[in-house]
Chain A
């Protein structure tokens, strides 16, 4: 959500702050998450463990870096190739946000796989995960829109998010837990 909110600020100098800019950003995030859920689920079939889980986090962190470094150049280029701000913002959002959001989307189903003990309790586990991740989204939204933009530059917030993701990934990677037990509950920053 932090990245999604900053997306508006990243694109507005080129495509305006209009509702279609938000429409583009939300569309791309939703599409990417849906693909990410599918991939994450698929990946969890194959010998799931928290090491791989940590790698997803680290990949997500790494994917935020080119986004942060390249958003100006990308927006500039898209502004040159299309003068319709609707499709311009859609194209720019796709280039910038699709990959990071797909990877972040993979976290949720993988978490379910790591945390579920029995089929009997799977609903409860999934419910708890939704609870944590959605609460995290709410927290990220509020923190970003109320405070972070007042305290930091956009790029610094993005690098900060990447750093947190990477650290979480490292923790999951170096302190592996066997699946089917309470693994690291570190998915506050997804979505």
Chain B
């Protein structure tokens, strides 16, 4: 336990150092790069981590996959931790769908937390899948994992037609440079909602800054009604949205789960009580903001 705490502290320090020193890029070393149909994918080794990024020089550290080389289980980013807040809402999900695999960190973690679950991941970029397997221990040869190289929206539409339904759907198809505008709209969220089982939970990792925050929140509220947001205070980066088909439990009902999962999630560097505190049902967006639709979705211009 002691060495674990030491590891956690070390990891946290490294992570903070990363954010402070990011513009310098002094220690960053590109270990592999490949041009895909969609982007340049760079694997970088820096500050004792492997990171996947889509630009050589990154302006901000949002939404890239990173893992610590000597402590791969400990989350590098807050948004991974925020995403684990979904576990408070879940009861042993059997079918999990992840739209936007990235490095596969969340796919792997949910696979560990729910070993009985079948995890279907959708990723548009085959090079990203390749890097996830090579550097992030994503292994879809395991019987409970499957990967589809496909546009997320096309997958969702097709899965609906094929009558597939999921207990937990995780939407994570954005990187900080470009937002697929057809995956931000009311129509898309309605399709996702239909793809969830009646008590299914939908989680989205999205933006907490810029105009888009208001439009996006208004769109989720329009489709799902009340929602929870998970955002560590004073961290103006990503936020996680939790919504469901049926009404979500009251916040105090989640505390029991937070306590129960305390030990299990500590391995990943997640403090479930801090996470519980970060959950909010406050309406903190401009409710007058225009809802994004297939007809109106200039997400990249609003960013």
Contact = CB atoms under 8 A, between A and B. Distances in A.
Contacts of A12: 153, 180-182
Given A79-B157, A83-B158, A85-B151, A17 B298 contact: no
Contact of A15 (B154, B181, B185, B293): B154
A122 B296 CA distance: 44
B295 interface: yes
A150 B301 contact: yes
A155 B154 contact: no
B298 A13 contact: no
B151 A154 contact: no
Interface residues of A: mostly helix, strand, loop or mixed?
A: helix
Interface in B280-303: 293-298, 301-302
B37 A18 contact: yes
Nearest to B296: A153
Interface string A118-156: 000000000000000000000000000010011011110
B160 to A, nearest CB: 11
B296 A16 contact: no
B180 A17 contact: yes
Contacts of B185: 13
Contacts of A9: 181-182, 294, 297
Given A18-B124, A154-B296, A13 B153 contact: yes
Nearest to A88: B154
Contact of B154 (A16, A80, A149, A152): A16
Interface residues of A, number: 20
B188 interface: yes
Interface string A1-37: 0000000010011111111000000000000000000
Interface in B72-130: 124
A18 B39 CA distance: 12
A12 B153 CA distance: 8
Nearest to A83: B158
A85 B124 CA distance: 13
Contact of B153 (A16, A80, A149): A16
B37 A17 contact: no
Given A16-B124, A17-B182, A149-B298, 18 more contacts: A9-B182, A9-B297, A12-B181, A13-B188, A13-B294, A14-B157, A15-B151, A15-B154, A16-B154, A16-B182, A18-B151, A79-B157, A149-B296, A152-B296, A153-B295, A154-B295, A154-B296, A155-B295
Interface of A: 9, 12-19, 79-80, 83, 85, 146, 149-150, 152-155
14 contacts: A9-B297, A12-B153, A12-B180, A13-B182, A13-B187, A16-B182, A17-B182, A18-B37, A18-B151, A19-B37, A149-B296, A150-B298, A153-B295, A154-B296
Closest CB pairs A-B (n = 6)? A16-B151, A12-B182, A153-B295, A150-B298, A16-B154, A149-B298
